[in-house]
Amino acid sequence: MSEYICPRGCTWDVIAFEAYGDEFMMDFLLQQNPEFSDVVIFEGGEKINVPARGIVAASTIAPPWDDEGEAIILPPWG
């Protein structure tokens, strides 16, 4: 896991793009840093945990209408 020190005015999508090359990874970063979940624009100096993409595990999601318990398997990022 690495650490990202936010510059003043930085946002989650910018951090995700700089760390992973994909701004849509911001949701993952928010999950990894719940103490900053209410921050939209950083003041500067905050330390954000940025896990390597390879450690994200595949998840199993069953839609609410699926009574049979069959699930959709989503691959990990990267």
Work out the percent of the chain whose per-residue pLDDT is above 90: 62
- Evaluate if residue 78 carries a pLDDT over 80: no
Domain ranges in the chain are 2-53
Q: Which residue has the higher pLDDT, 12 or 63?
A: 12
User: For domain 2-53, is the CATH number 2.60.40?
Assistant: no
Eight-class DSSP state of 20: H
pTM for the structure as a whole: 0.65
Per-residue pLDDT tens over the stretch 41-56: 999 999 999 998 754 4
Distance of CA 77 to the CA centre of its chain: 10
- Please choose, from the candidates 24, 31, 33, 77, the residue with its C-alpha nearest in 3D space to the C-alpha of residue 54: 77
